[in-house]
Structure 1
Amino acid sequence: MNTAELDLYLRSYKDYELTYFNVGKPPLLAFRDDKAFIIEDNYEETLRQVHRLSDNLIMRTDQNIACNQHYRFLKVVPHYHSFIEMIYVHSGTCTQTINGETITMNQGDICILDLNVVHDIKVVEENDIIINILMRKAYFDKTMLGRLSGNSLLTNFFIRALYQEKEHHDYIVLQTNNNHKIHTLVTELMCEFFDKQLCSEEAINSYMLLIFTEVLREYEKTQPIQQPNNVTQYNCADILHFIEENYRDVSLVSVAEHFHFHPNYLSKILKKNFGLTFGPLIQEIKLKKASHLLEMQDLPINKIANEVGFSNIYFFYQIFKEKYNLTPSEYRRKFRT
């Protein structure tokens, strides 16, 4: 399947669409007991209920990733699900309500939804091609975020924004309509999914990794930090990159001077955006660098500790075990097993 064939496939009428195209009142698509069913009349009571969309309904047990085109001409009940969902607007627009907030996405935009987030999408018209990419959470955590992180705090920041700080975030919406790479990658992923070829599963995994790489890069751009005098604006990613590149030698004062911040103001930025003050942030970076070396190299543990900036090997062992619940040796054995 090439891109032209994919576009033709997505825009062609599916069987149910031939039935419900251009009807007066759109039918309601609801979910119950791992089944989907359509209600054509008097469905107001059903709309007042929140339905659980089971992954067994749309994903095989051996699948970690599934793609499907959102139903056109149907109204979908408010629902939640036990998998990570990426919504991509291939063409047209998509208006949905997430936790009571109405959001409109345009062609090329992306929304990532955590587990159990209640949302619904308004009736999708003929030229609105909405693609749902579904991922099991274990796969998302290990394969996507695990491989993408590179032991970087920036990815941890992204993870926390998506599904760790429940009082603030359950989803991320990114205006990626100017990112042509994402459009190309999602298109190629769909070609592989809808027309399985030799090694399609490996290709799909690779495309997903590249898609999330671009998503992370776009996410960096959405985190501005502005001076109180409204003169200089920086990105959270800029600060993290600088600290991670120079973590062995920097101090709070030197980082503040580099970004033209007062040290106290920089401390507030770090605490607000990353949940850590400067000292614990540096320690976190050192531990992540150490864990990466344990995974990838056979250096003795005392050399790894020195390499990342710990002069006291006993202190290194102590805080490493506090963070990972394993000694460095146990961590290395478990990772390689």
Structure 2
Amino acid sequence: MEKYSNVVGDMLKRSGHKYNDQGEMYFEDSVYLTEWKFTEEYFHTEINYLYRRKEMITMPWTITDDPNINWNEFGFIQKFHDPKAKEVLSPYHRNKHLEIYYVVKGIQEIRVEDEMVSLDEKDLILLNQQCHHSDVLSPNNMDIRIIGINLDYIETSLYPFISNQEIKSFITRMLEAKNVDSEYWIVRNTDLIDLFEKLSNEMRVKDDFYEDAIRLYLLRILQKLIPTEKKIKPFHGRKGIIFHEVDQYMRYNYEGVSLDDLSSYLKFSKDYFNRLIKEITGMTYTEYLQLIRMEKACELLENTDLTIRDIAYDVGYVNLAHFYDIFKEMYELTPHEYRLTIRN
């Protein structure tokens, strides 16, 4: 296992992908295509660039348990801070480029801003440079392709030739505005596998005139994007990254978290967290914690046979009547009525 720890540490440090102190990911090229192929035992990563040499590594999932690797050093955390979880979250970040995820096989989860997006086979998500997001990497049979395109390359080599007016408008907003909102598209059930395979081959082999071929395949992919869902959300900059940490901590410790705990964990004042949560969610700290607890209570009501008293206690309420009052105010049903409605 030690040989893998040395390899992964070296790869992450030498990769063409970098993170700056503003929580932005950038890469030292014009275009990249990443391929993730996961099985229950191994994960394989291959990154091909327009000009740089490719990066490739195959490792067993047991590496997530390797004490020789400090994943936090590279910004990776195990899902919900659970050291027993196999899933790992990539660093919560935004890009300095356009990014496209495409699912060839399996199901991929991506946290985008405050939403967990689930992509099935042939689904795609398009992210502008303001979208904070984090990838959920798990030992399931998956084949994921990710394209990154720098804005300078888009402006000079792609933008003038795009005829799809919706995608052209999306890119126009990226190129013209300094502080655009976070915007992303979800495109469901679009058959782009053949184009992605041809693009992969050109980026690997780099035969004569490969740059022209890559540009044409990128244009063909962009031309085919017709959004199923469009999401536009206010951009919160560095505050968005801090809020993500707050949200993750509260969701993992919902049964007993306090503002004092947050202040101790993230080294900001309690007043700062109150203002931050209010600015981003529109709720007070207490209201947001209640929402998290009620969401967990709903999950337990749907998926377990625990008594309502046990569920109330598990999500942080000793007073059962108080739990009932909050639940009914939020969902206009008692917990018992909610369980019956969902199960029927």
TM bracket, shorter-chain basis: 0.3 to 0.5
Larger strand proportion, structure 1 or 2?
2
Compute the TM-score of the two structures, normalised by the length of structure 2.
Answer: 0.43
Compute the TM-score of the two structures, normalised by the length of structure 1.
Answer: 0.44
Q: Please tell me whether Structure 1 or Structure 2 has the larger radius of gyration of its CA atoms.
A: 1
